[in-house]
Structure 1
Amino acid sequence: MTTVETVATTEARPTETGSEWWRTAVIYQIYPRSFSDSSGDGIGDLPGVTAHLDDLEKLGVDAIWLSPFQRSPQKDAGYDVADYCDVDPLFGTLSDFDRMLAEAHARSIRIIVDLVPNHSSDQHVWFQDALAAGPGSPERARYMFRDGRGEHGELPPNNWDSVFGGPAWTRVTEAGGAPGQWYLHLFDTSQPDFDWSNEEVREEFRTVLRFWLDRGVDGFRVDVAHGLVKEAGLPDYTPSPEGGSMGGDEANVPYWGQPGVHEIYRDWHEVLAQYDGDRALCAEAWLPTIEKTALWVRPDEMHQAFNFVFLETHWNAADLRSVIDESLRAYGAVGAPSTWVLSNHDVVRHASRLGLPADIPQGAGIGPNTVGKPDPALGLRRARAASALMLALPGSAYIYQGEELGLPEAIDLPDDARQDPTWFRTDGEKYGRDGCRVPLPWTSDGPAFGFSDTGASWLPQPAEWATLARDAQQGDSASTLSLYETMLAERRARGLGAGTLTWVDGAGPDVLSFRNGDLHVLTNIGSAPLELPAGTVVVASEPLEGRMLPPDTTVWLA
C-alpha cells in the first residue's frame, strides 16, 4: 500500500476512565461527496467540509465521522479503497485533510475516519499483484481465493450471495487464458475480501491505523466490522429473503459475526492505546441482538457500536422501552455507552422511514414504484419526536447529515441517475441507497441549492428541498434546524449523555416517560393528546396545545 510522510500527533487529552469524550458525544456523519462541493464538479470534497465547520460548530456537534475519502475508483462511492493512505483527488489532497483536521480541532470538533478493512478495491496494488502471481502465491493469500467446485472448477466454492445481489464469487482468467480460481466478494465484484487469517493483512492495517493516528485523527468508524472473519470451511448458507442485506436479522451466518473478529479488535485497541488522548473505534456491526452487539465493546475491544436494533425498532412505546432498557443493561454490563442512531448513508432516512406503512429491508431503498409510499408529514413529525427522544438518552448519539434539516428520502430519482451497485446487481429490483445520499441543500435559491456554485450535483436534488435549505430554516424557531440546535445545546449543558435514565410510570401504555438528570422526558406515541405534568418546557418536537402533548411528539420538561 502507498504511504507518505505523516505529521505529528495532536496534543494529549488525558481523562479518567469513564469520562472519555466518546461516551457522551454527539457525532455528525458527513458523506463527503454529498456535503459541499468547493470545486464545482458536482461532488463534495474536503475543502467543502472545512468551509462549513462553523455551521457544525453552531449546530453543537462534538465530532465528525467522515465517510470514505481515500483513493478509490468509486465503484461503491469510496467503499472500494485502492490506497488507504492517501486522499482521492475527487475530494482533495492530504494537505486539504490536514487543514480540515486542524480547523476542526480548533473548534473542539474531533474527527473520526471511515476505515474499510473487509475488502479493498480490485484496483488495489495487492489485488493486481494477486491476479498476476497465480494460484498458491503469497500475493493471492492476502485475499479469499479458492478453487471452484465441479469437474473443472466451473462452480463457485459455495452458494453465498453478495450483499448487493448476485453471487459472491467471481472466477478469474489466469495468465495463460484458462479459467482459474474464484475470489470472494461479499459486496461488488470490484471489492475482493481480504483473508484476515493472513498476518500480512493484519500488519498492513496496523500501519494504516498508525498513518491516520499520526496525522491526529480521533478515531475510526469500522465498515462491516462484523464481516472480516469467515467460518472455517466456508459452508453453504442461504439467508432469509426478508432479511436486511447486512445480516442483522439472523444468527449463525458464516460470514457475519464470527468469534475471530474480536481478536482483531483487541489488537487494534492496543494500537490506539499507544497514542495520547482518547482515540476511539466504532463498529458498524449488524447483529441480531443487542446482547451480541455488546460483545464488540468489551473493555479491551472497540469503544462504540452502532445500536442498529434501536434504529430498526418500530414506532411503538413498548418496543422502544424494551430496546432502551436492554441497551442500557447490555452495554452498561461491559462498561460501554449505548451508541444511538436513527439514520445513516445505508438506510432510508428516518423522516421517511417512520412514515412508511410497512417495513423496508435494510439496503433495499424506496423509489417511484415502491408499493406504499411514506406519508411525508407523518414521517417528519415522528422523526422529530424520535430524534428528541434519542438525544435525551444517556450515551453517545450519531446524526446523519441533513437530518437536522428534516430531509426525507429522495424517492423520485430517475433510473439513469442511480449509482448504487445494488440497483445494477439486482437489475433494478432494489433501489438501493441513493435516495439517502442526495447532496445537501444549503441555500434555497442558489445553484444546486448552494451545494455547488456551478449547479452540478452528482445526484439530482428534489425541487421541494428549497424549503428545507439551511438558510431557509435559520432563525425560524419552528424549524427542524432550530430544534436540533436547541436539543444539542441543552443536552450538553445538562450533561444528558452522562446521565442516568429512570422510568416514570403512570402515563399510559402509549407513552415513554423518564427522567434524566433534571429533565422529565415524555414521548407520546399514541393517537390522543396527553396532559403534561408540572414543569417548564425546554424542548418540544411539535407545538404544544396548551398543556397537552399531541400525538407523535416529544417534550423535555425541567
Structure 2
Amino acid sequence: MTQDLAPSVRDAAAPAARRPEGWWRSAVIYQVYVRSFADSDGDGIGDLRGIRERLPHLASLGVDAVWLTPFYASPQADGGYDVADYRAVDPLFGDLSDADDLVREAHRLGLRVIVDIVPNHTSDRHVWFQAALADRAGGTARERYHFRPGKGAAGELPPNDWESVFGGPAWTRTVGPDGTPGEWYLHLFAPEQPDLNWDNPEVREEFDSVLRFWLDLGVDGFRIDVAHGMVKAPGLPDIGRKEQAKLIGAQVLPFFDQDGVHEIHRSWRRLLDSYEGERIGVAEAWAPTSERLALYVRPDELHQAFNFQFLTCAWGAGAMRTVIDESLAATCSVGAPTTWVLSNHDVVRHTTRYGGGERGLNRARAAALLMLALPGSAYVYQGEELGLPEVVELPDEVRQDPAFFRGDGQDGTRDGCRVPLPWSGEEAPYGFGPGGSWLPQPAEWRGLSAEAQSGDPRSTLELYRSALALRHELPGLGDGEMTWLEAPEGVLAFSRPGFVCTLNTGEAEAELPVPGRPVLATAALEFTGGTVRVPADSCVWWAV
C-alpha cells in the first residue's frame, strides 16, 4: 500500500502559544533580509513598510519570531552592515515610525522581533570615524578604533599580517590633509568598515545606549553580528602564515573568539535581563569547536548562538549524526538550547548546496523536517519555505557583494542568495513591489512564488506550514530530549516523547519497521505489513 502524506493546507493563523519555558528555547525564527523581502514604494529595494504588509505570510507560516537584517542609516557598502547611525533608519528602508509600526504589528500577530546590531565595526562615514580621520596620530578620537603606525622605513607596510575576511590586507593607510600618508586603521571586513576598539570605555557606553534605544522601542532581542570579533589579542600579533579568514570558518585567529568577548556579552545579558518580556541576545559567533561556541551561551551570557557546524555539514547520515551529537553535548553542558540553521544571507542556499535541481530540492525538504524535529530552536532564511535555489547566473554589473570586487577574498557569490522574493504573478518582479527588483529574478521563479504554492498540498510552502503547525501541536517537539534509534546505513532515526523522525540520506529506498502513525512526509511511502519503504532523500514524522 502506498501512502502519500502531502501536507494538509492549513488556514492562516497566528502561532499557537509556546510552552512556559523561555520562548527562545523552542522558537522558530524567520530571517528577513530587509532589502530583498518586500518593496512598498517601487524603488526595487525592500523596506520596513513592505515587511509590515507581508507579516501575515509569516504568521500563517507558523514561525515565532522575525529577525531583521540592518536597516540603519548606512552608505550600503556592505548591505547595511556598515552603520553610520545606529539610532536612525536609512531612508532606503523608511523612517523610525515605520520601525515602530512594524514592531507593533508583529506583536499584534503574535510575532516577536529581533534586530541586528553591528558592534565589531562602524561605517567609515560614522561621525566617530570622521573625527578620527581629522584627529592627529595618537589623538583621543582615534582611540575608539585601531589606528597604528605602519612597518618599514617610512611606515609603508601594514602594521601586521592580518587579512580581511573580504580579501587583501585588513589595514588601510590614511592620508593627511596635506596629502602625506599617515597611520593605518584596522578593518577585518571592507575598508569602509573600520573595527572599533572595545578596550575604550566610550565604545561600551555607546552600545549600551544603542541597545536601550531599541529595547525601549519594543524589540525582543538582538542578533549580534561578529559577536566573536570585538576583542583582539593584546599587541595585535602576526598570524605568521598566509591564511584567509573565512566568512564562516573554524580557524584559530588572534582577532576572533578571544576570551575577552565574554565579559562584554555578560554585561549585555544583564542589560537585557533588566527589561520585561524575555528579551534575548543571539550570537553570530564562529568558533573552532562546538565547545568554544557553547561558551557564548553560558547561563550569564547570551541566549543563543548560531550553529554553523550544522549549516556546513555535508549531506549524509554519518556526518549529520556527528554534528548533531557534538552540538547537543556542547550546549547541554551549559544548559542552553541548541540552534539549527540551514541557510542565511551569507551562504549558498541549501537547495543548491545539496545538489540542485529535483535532487537538491528533495534533500532540502527532508533537511527541513530533520531540523524542525531536533531539540532546541530553528532558523528559517527567507525563501527557503518556497524551496528557492541559489541564483548562480547573475550578471557582473548587478552584483553588490563587496567580496566580489576583491578577487583574492571570498568567492563573492553572496548576491545569489539575496535575490528578492517572488510573491505572486507570472512576470518579474513577481509581486516583490510596484517597480522592479535590485537583483534580477529568474523566469522559472514564477512557479515558486508564495501565491503559486499556497494551497498546493505538495508544495514546499505547505510542507513548512504543516511542519510548523505540528511542531506547535506535538508536545514532544521543540526543546527537550532525543534518543537515537537503530537504523540501516544511510538512515537517521530518533525518538522524542510521542514522536519519531526518520531521514533517509541514502541513494536507494530504505525498508524500516513502522514506528507509529505517519503524520508528515516529504515523499510517498509504501507500506507492506509491518514495514515501510522510505524513499531516498526523504524524511518522515511519526506519531507514536
Superposition TM-score tier, normalisation by shorter sequence:
over 0.9
Deviation at 1:29, TM superposition (A): 0.1
Q: Deviations over 1:66-89 (max 9, x none)?
A: 000000000101000000011101
Say if 1:514 and 1:428 are closer, same or farther in 2 by CA, change over 3 A.
closer
Is the Cα contact below 8 Å between 1:447 and 1:453 reproduced in 2? Answer: no
Distance in 1 between the 2:506 and 2:175 partners? 60
Answer yes or no: is 1:484 the counterpart of 2:486: no
Distance in 2 between the 1:411 and 1:200 partners? 43
1:43-122 equivalence runs, <5 A: 43-122=45-124
Query: 2:450 corresponds to which letter in structure 1?
Result: R
Query: 1:89 corresponds to which letter in structure 2?
Result: P
Aligned to 2:283: 283
Distance in 2 between the 1:244 and 1:549 partners? 41
In structure 2, list runs of 5 or more residues that go unmatched.
1-17
Aligned match of 2:534 in 549, 555, 558? 549
Aligned match of 2:433 in 431, 452, 460? 452
Answer yes or no: is 1:443 the counterpart of 2:424: yes
Aligned to 1:138: 140
**Which has the higher mean CA deviation after the structures are superposed, 488-497 or 139-148?**
488-497
Deviation at 1:446, TM superposition (A): 5.0
The secondary structure found in structure 2 opposite 1:391 is helix
Between the two proteins, what is the percent identity of the paired residues? 59
Deviation at 1:542, TM superposition (A): 2.1
Deviation at 1:245, TM superposition (A): 1.4
Q: Deviations over 1:518-541 (max 9, x none)?
A: 111000111221224332211112
Query: 1:300 corresponds to which letter in structure 2?
Result: D
Query: 1:137 corresponds to which letter in structure 2?
Result: G
Distance in 1 between the 2:137 and 2:336 partners? 44
Aligned to 1:498: 479
Distance in 2 between the 1:244 and 1:318 partners? 28
Query: 1:553 corresponds to which letter in structure 2?
Result: S
1:215-254 equivalence runs, <5 A: 215-237=217-239, 245-246=246-247, 248-251=249-252, 253-254=253-254
Q: Deviations over 1:218-266 (max 9, x none)?
A: 000000111111111111126776x761362322x00110110001100
Distance in 2 between the 1:272 and 1:459 partners? 37
Is the Cα contact below 8 Å between 1:520 and 1:557 reproduced in 2? Answer: yes
Q: Deviations over 1:499-532 (max 9, x none)?
A: 3111111x21211100122111000111221224
Deviation at 1:448, TM superposition (A): 0.3
Aligned to 2:168: 166
The secondary structure found in structure 1 opposite 2:430 is helix
1:183-202 equivalence runs, <5 A: 183-202=185-204
Q: Deviations over 1:243-299 (max 9, x none)?
A: 761362322x00110110001100111111110111100011111211110010001
1:377-392 equivalence runs, <5 A: 377-392=358-373
**Which has the higher mean CA deviation after the structures are superposed, 508-517 or 124-133?**
508-517
Aligned to 1:343: 343
TM-score where L is the length of structure 2: 0.93
Distance in 2 between the 1:236 and 1:427 partners? 20
The secondary structure found in structure 1 opposite 2:472 is helix
The secondary structure found in structure 2 opposite 1:111 is strand
Query: 1:65 corresponds to which letter in structure 2?
Result: W
Say if 1:518 and 1:311 are closer, same or farther in 2 by CA, change over 3 A.
same
Distance in 2 between the 1:240 and 1:544 partners? 52
Q: Deviations over 1:448-472 (max 9, x none)?
A: 0110112x11111111111111111
Aligned to 1:432: 413
Say if 1:545 and 1:244 are closer, same or farther in 2 by CA, change over 3 A.
farther
Distance in 2 between the 1:261 and 1:76 partners? 24
Say if 1:23 and 1:428 are closer, same or farther in 2 by CA, change over 3 A.
closer
Aligned to 1:296: 296
Is the Cα contact below 8 Å between 1:444 and 1:467 reproduced in 2? Answer: no
1:264-275 equivalence runs, <5 A: 264-275=264-275
**Which has the higher mean CA deviation after the structures are superposed, 419-428 or 289-298?**
419-428
Query: 1:550 corresponds to which letter in structure 2?
Result: P
Q: Which of structures 1 and 2 has the larger relative contact order (alpha carbons within 8 angstroms, sep 6+)?
A: 2
Moved over 3 A (4+): 238-241
Deviation at 1:157, TM superposition (A): 0.2
Is the Cα contact below 8 Å between 2:337 and 2:479 reproduced in 1? Answer: no
The secondary structure found in structure 2 opposite 1:231 is coil
TM-score where L is the length of structure 1: 0.91
1:519-530 equivalence runs, <5 A: 519-530=499-510
Is the Cα contact below 8 Å between 2:388 and 2:448 reproduced in 1? Answer: yes
Aligned match of 2:448 in 464, 468, 488? 468
Distance in 1 between the 2:248 and 2:163 partners? 12
Answer yes or no: is 1:423 the counterpart of 2:404: yes
Distance in 2 between the 1:523 and 1:503 partners? 12
Distance in 1 between the 2:289 and 2:498 partners? 31
The secondary structure found in structure 1 opposite 2:140 is coil
Query: 2:249 corresponds to which letter in structure 1?
Result: G
Query: 1:289 corresponds to which letter in structure 2?
Result: T
Aligned to 2:156: 154
Q: Deviations over 1:473-499 (max 9, x none)?
A: 001010000000000000111141123
Distance in 1 between the 2:409 and 2:299 partners? 43
Say if 1:239 and 1:385 are closer, same or farther in 2 by CA, change over 3 A.
farther
Aligned to 1:178: 180
